[in-house]
Amino acid sequence: MAMLRNPSQAEDAVQEATLNAWAKIQTFRRGTDFKSWYLTIVANECRQALRSAWWRVILKPFVERGSSPPPQDRVDAGDEVRRALRRLSYDHRVVIVLRFYLDLSFEEIGRTLSISPRMAKSRTQRALNRLRPIFSVPEVIGNE
């Protein structure tokens, strides 16, 4: 969902990835991490969905026409996080999702995205640096 920004497209991508994984199960090398292998297929399917629907991604606004944002007193932390993630580039968003939503190690992220663990750690750090100003919390004065 965080990669495609659309629940329906995300479900379709996972279903396609599962079918692709099943069809190509013979390419899975024994002794390697199945989770990383599968998530690589999911990530590739998401990239393919973005490529094939590029015009929808570019033209479609984040908020559907006719809908209004929730009142400020009803905005929960999850909404704030989703909004902040939308501001990140694809590369930064995907490492945040893999690291903090799926709890993958930097090694697993590297295998999933075909980058080095060091690059995965670096991208995660850069993404967090971009998120920090959005979630800055003022210091509390006093000894409360």
Closest residue by Cα to residue 14 from 36, 38, 50: 38
Number of separate domains in the chain: 1
**pLDDT given for residue 53 in this prediction:** 55
One-letter amino acid for residue 144 of the chain:
E
Question: Given this model, what pLDDT does residue 85 score?
Answer: 82
Q: Is 19 inside any structural domain?
A: yes
Q: Which of 19-28, 62-71, 116-125, 133-142 has the highest mean pLDDT?
A: 116-125
Question: Quick count: other Cβ atoms within 10 Å of Cβ 99?
Answer: 20
Contact (Cβ atoms closer than 8 angstroms) between residue 100 and residue 128 = no
Selected residue with higher pLDDT from 63 and 72 = 72
Which of 34, 1, 2, 32 has the alpha carbon at shortest distance from 18? Answer: 34
Q: What is the pTM of this model?
A: 0.49
- In this predicted structure, the answer to whether residue 62 has a pLDDT above a threshold of 50 is no
| Token representation of residue 119 | 């690059």
In tens, the pLDDT along 76-85 reads 556 777 778 8
Q: Which residues form the domain of 103? A: 7-61+76-131
The verdict on residue 38 lying in a domain is yes
- Specify if 23 maps to a domain: yes
User: What's 44's domain CATH number?
Assistant: 1.10.10.10
Confidence of residue 102 (pLDDT cuts 50, 70, 90): confident
* Each residue's pLDDT tens digit, 85-94: 888 888 898 8
Residue 140 lies in a domain: no
Query: What proportion of the chain, given as a percentage, has pLDDT over 70?
Result: 72
108/94 Cα distance (integer angstroms): 13
Q: Is the dihedral of CA 120, 122, 123, 125 positive or negative?
A: positive
- The percent of residues in the chain predicted with pLDDT above 90, rounded, is 11
